[in-house]
Structure 1
């Protein structure tokens, strides 16, 4: 088969994204029983979804699904792609009020087990403890490179009036079509960072807010993603989960007249970590030396105490004498973390057995997953970038919105051009000017695709350290790993595989590539595919492998 023909075979008639939905329970999938009360029912959700055209295009499924795809549902056409999703239903289904640490571990394990097989993930969850689960998963999921969205509803999805339909559809679209490598919460047409969210209203469809940062994305007439706000891992390591969370943690809310006996009892062994919820900007009584002494003694023997505010919005500071007194007693400033984030972060950090106590205190002060605000050292505006400003003037653009659209149009091409020449300095300027290094050009190609194809190892390292995902596909379904294989760049293949990259090429296309390489004695290509994790024994349509071809043409 000529090379041009083989390249065309990598096109899909209608590109697909796959999403795994983990259904843990919650109001969203409940039905009304004979007494008019909501209750969970096994296998009810999937069977009902199949009857709703918004959630399943039956005609497309019958015409295009393969035998091994019969358990999938598929959304109607969205932005040039189809979102296929499969629902994994837990047994028994849980009310979120019953959610425990071992349930977080089960969700994390399932995410890890299926991570390489899906483009994104949705967790259907009750609303009462959703913020706790989202915060916990954000820490448990290390080196995350794909989108995980938690959602639910205030009214079951099959009621005449329900927020569940929009929440679930929005989550599927965002998980399938957008690469936001965070644990997120989707509610009321907003995408919130999971470890920044709290349940704020028990009687409103706007149940969740992220009080100290704006939403990551808003779903209005257009979907608007604040790409500059997306938190990305800086490690070039594979995705993994950490499940053994420390259970000896708790929340202690200060109130006027709290007794010394209450505080002492709370800090007794086996307690290892405490989130102290104080007044205002982190204040507690400083005229009670006995109270401060108990905190200091507990801190000295290894209890990690984190100070966060009782207020919904705002952060802890040491501007007041009362706040400074806590700091002097060894209490760590928790900044603007939510109670859910502070508690689960404490549980995560304390469970790291290889970290010393000094390291654990250090990591509690550090922003690990975007859970706390770090004041930027410099504030670089996009308007300071001369090229964009010059082009805007030449085109007579005046408004900020017009300039932002120009930036979104130009930056992907500029980044790809910089990656082609291995110009890391130019990429850094673009990043610091507000550019999203994961943005793609008109062909769907990112700077990582280009750098991988061209063989620029330092540029690939830089982009991975900036959190650019190895899982992004261009319009032809090509990933950066496939580009590196085609370029025969062994060092880059190793880097990408270490970061969790997987070959997504179809088996029949892979077999043709391998057979062509074997026929032309192209050992480097065969080695590249092998190092990328390809099965060199895959068969073509004639049940022939590369070894068959190599023996014939030897």
Structure 2
């Protein structure tokens, strides 16, 4: 029996080709991908293509588009064995993180990929990323999907989606998962590290939770920053502070007073690290104790992309029991190291 993979094309560099008269990149009709890549017809699975009506640059992808993708996967979940989302690289980690929280009880692969060069370029990385992603999306053993989570495949590596970040705009090896090991790596064989794979509760039925709030602000702390600017911004439900190292900030009575006023105004404060690797550890240094005093929430070793989308998903979400702080601190789908 041939496995069926649904390819959802949203846009991005992977779907571009060069207009040799003007030298500019333009989107091609992704419905003709089998003509562009005839080798896809030789694969051991069936690939069905669903392109967005209007391809989007990844900078235009956001909550509205995340819901469209999640809905489309939900509507077609029983028809296909795996799902592949072609996406621009700049915000792919945001989309992968958001989908990981929105797709509940997932027991089939949802893989995102893209490319640094257009599919029509002679030196492109698009073809390998696309073909290998299809293999991973159709990988089954004993009639069970090997991958049962949202992941990103890029330049020979399969990574957990909500653990990734884009760290290079230049190299083919553009994605990193600094705080979680790879799920698999392709070479002569498609390797999977099974002990690193996520599994939801086997009793959970697949469903979607499309709740997303945009009442989140992300702010990077820097030396010499004037915190009184915080008082001039409108009230938001969640403020995510990206601070130094393992959770430090300049220590002064003014800092404590300003952050406490924000908390007293009903805003939750989440703390994540500016370091790519490692995480937040309140109390490790004296200058992190301020966050314990004001009741801030540790983002632990989450990426900024994952912390932002998780906060957006949890704010005033009626499908969760308990407080925002309790739910944010909980490992929902492998986004935090236990």
Separation (CA, whole Å) in 2 of partners of 1:350 and 1:265: 22
Does the aligned pair in 1 maintain the 2:149–2:198 contact within 8 Å? yes
Does the aligned pair in 2 maintain the 1:341–1:371 contact within 8 Å? yes
Deviation sequence 1:502-551 (CA, Å, 0-9, x none):
xxxxxxxxxxxxxxxxxxxxxxxxxxxxxxxxxxxxxxxxxxxxxxxxxx
Separation (CA, whole Å) in 1 of partners of 2:217 and 2:105: 27
Higher strand share: 2
Match of 1:97 among 59, 67, 91: 59
* Aligned residue pair count: 331
Could you say what the CA RMSD is over the residues aligned between the two structures, in angstroms?
A: 1.5
Q: Does 1:349 align with 2:334?
A: no
> Structure 2: which 5+ residue stretches go unaligned?
none
Larger radius of gyration: 1
Residue 169 of structure 2 corresponds to: 202
Q: 1:257 to 1:182 in 2, by over 3 A?
A: same
> Where do 1:56-455 residues align within 5 Å?
56-57=41-42, 75=43, 82-178=44-140, 179=145, 180-234=147-201, 236-266=203-233, 268-269=234-235, 271-286=236-251, 288-318=252-282, 319-353=284-318, 355=320, 359-374=323-338
Residue 22 of structure 2 corresponds to: 35
Q: Does 1:16 align with 2:5?
A: no
Secondary structure of the structure 2 residue equivalent to 1:346? helix
Secondary structure of the structure 1 residue equivalent to 2:182? coil
Normalised to the residue count of structure 1, the TM-score between the two structures is 0.58
Secondary structure of the structure 2 residue equivalent to 1:35? coil
Q: CA deviation at 1:231?
A: 1.3
> Structure 1: which 5+ residue stretches go unaligned?
1-14, 58-74, 76-81, 375-554
Residue 31 of structure 2 corresponds to: 46
Does the aligned pair in 1 maintain the 2:217–2:239 contact within 8 Å? yes
Does the aligned pair in 1 maintain the 2:18–2:120 contact within 8 Å? no
Normalised to the residue count of structure 2, the TM-score between the two structures is 0.94
Deviation sequence 1:151-189 (CA, Å, 0-9, x none):
000111122111000100111000011421110000001
Larger relative contact order, structure 1 or 2 (CA cutoff 8 Å, min sep 6): 2
Separation (CA, whole Å) in 1 of partners of 2:166 and 2:50: 25
Does the aligned pair in 2 maintain the 1:142–1:241 contact within 8 Å? yes
Residue 491 of structure 1 corresponds to: none
Does the aligned pair in 1 maintain the 2:280–2:301 contact within 8 Å? yes
Separation (CA, whole Å) in 1 of partners of 2:33 and 2:227: 55
Secondary structure of the structure 2 residue equivalent to 1:19? strand
Q: CA deviation at 1:195?
A: 0.5
Q: CA deviation at 1:51?
A: 5.0
Separation (CA, whole Å) in 1 of partners of 2:103 and 2:172: 28
Separation (CA, whole Å) in 1 of partners of 2:93 and 2:163: 8
Higher helix share: 1
